[in-house]
Amino acid sequence: MRAKVSARSLFKGGNEGSEERFDLVVIGAGSAGFSAAITAADEGAQVALIGHGTIGGTCVNVGCVPSKALIRAVEPLHHARAARRFAGIEAEARVTDWAATVRQKRELVEELRRAKYIDVLPSHPRVRYIEGAARLAPDGAVEVEGRRLEAPRIIIATGSRPHVPEIPGLGDVPWHDSTSLLELEEVPDSLIVIGGGYIGVELAQILARAGSRVSILTRHGLLPRAEPEISQALTGYFAEEGITVRKVGGYERVEAGGEGVVVHVPEAGEARRITAEALLVATGRVPNSGGLGLEEAGVATDARGGIVIDAHMRTSRAGVYAAGDVTGRDQFVYMAAYGAKIAARNALQGDRWSYDNSAIPSVVFSDPQVASVGMTEAAARAAGHDVRVSVLPLEHVPRAIAARDTRGLIKLVADAATHRLLGAHVLAPEGADSIQAAAFAIRAGMGWDELGDAIFPYLTTVEGLKLAAQTFEKDVAALSCCAG
């Protein structure tokens, strides 16, 4: 039932058994691989870019693009149901042809894959694209299905794949991962989601808004790495939409039966049977590091298979670098591209650049959206800071009041002695568009005083950052509009 990505051959060249020389070999043709190859080519290097399977990697094919397209597709369904919050307004929206929605999503994926990957290659004549499974040879060369590629530097950027947990019976029942669920042309009547991370959260809400009865089974609650105030609030908002979140002690076994699939779990000290027509396993992603000959080549990996790298993107083998999801770190497409650019520059110019992830903005495209940057309260305390926090419910943000949608909150984490901002965490319908301002503030070393004194446009969600900063020392409920 899980969809497989078919390989496709583009711009092939060279003869089997031949030996070719390049300045750099990049293994992996997703966002990280393309970033590395283009960066190196722009600096005059001759680059071999090796792809295996569908060009473009996770984001454009099976991740960011298709999931966000469907998130947008179901938004009108929710907005129609919520329209009654405005007096005198009623609206209606419904799914008439989910298969057509999925086909439109598929067309978008194909269009962006061509525009941002396939059609980009001819613009970079120094990049030779080679299709095939790559493997590091012990002597430092790269072997691709009978071809031998020689280069003084190599970058591995082979991405990640959905994690498959070891649950008894899982192999005996039909189930979906994130890839195959996004290809479903019929909405199941009911769905069990195993996993409460960002993938499970986003896909659960898509299917629920499209008409499925959804239960999320999670051992640690929704978004366990988020601030607890945000996880708790989002759980409540999901319940209001009919999404059941069940905190379980584990997953004992899976079997066929009832409506389709039965998951046996311990819940509140008792054995429970959860049934649904369909099952989604969304327990994260793991690096694609197998089959590359890493151990034989002396490239170290961690317990989850991530390639171990230092701040310069160097692996344990001299001349070999790695970037993106295959490292198991910061699995965001923009960080993959950023890390790959650093790897390419260091490979060609002598390790002059370092990877800096101290102020990475991240977004979960739930509704309301979860956007974060910097340290959580717990991480700041663990780092030794004397921490102060500010938590501002959206009911104090004029934008939310005018929209009659006060779901959410803004939490700022700061150092009590210096007032310096350490982290910002936003739960809001438009939270994604606010977090970059917080990222700039943290990177600039701003204190809550400076952020509270800054000028923000009125009736915007981002103005909530100013109000949350003022909340460290003031009662914002006692302020007039735009006061500060």
Q: Is 68 annotated as a binding residue?
A: yes
Q: Is 330 annotated as a binding residue?
A: no
Dihedral, CA of residue 108, residue 113, residue 119 and residue 121, to nearest 10: 170
190-194 and 278-281 beta bridge pairing: parallel
User: Cβ distance 31 to 53 under 8 Å?
Assistant: no
Q: Is 172 annotated as a binding residue?
A: no
DSSP states of 351-403? S------TT--EEE-SSSEEEEEE--HHHHHHTT--EEEEEEEGGG-HHHHHT
Q: Is 132 annotated as a binding residue?
A: no
Q: Is 201 annotated as a binding residue?
A: yes
Secondary-structure breakdown of the chain: helix, strand, coil percentages, each rounded to the nearest 5: 35, 25, 40
Q: Is 339 annotated as a binding residue?
A: no
Q: Is 43 annotated as a binding residue?
A: no
Beta bridge partners of 144: 134, 147
CA distances from 46 to 10, 21, 321, 322 (A): 18, 9, 17, 18
Q: From CA 469, how far away is CA 417, in angstroms rounded?
A: 15
Handedness of CA 293, 296, 302, 304 (dihedral sign): positive
The H-or-E segment that residue 154 falls in is strand 153-156
Q: Is 54 annotated as a binding residue?
A: no
Q: Is 198 annotated as a binding residue?
A: yes
Q: Is 275 annotated as a binding residue?
A: no
Order of all β-strands in the sheet with 19-21: 19-21, 147-150, 142-144, 134-136
Annotated binding site for FAD: 68, 158-160, 325
Annotated binding site: 68, 158-160, 195-202, 284, 325
Annotated binding site for NAD(+): 195-202, 284
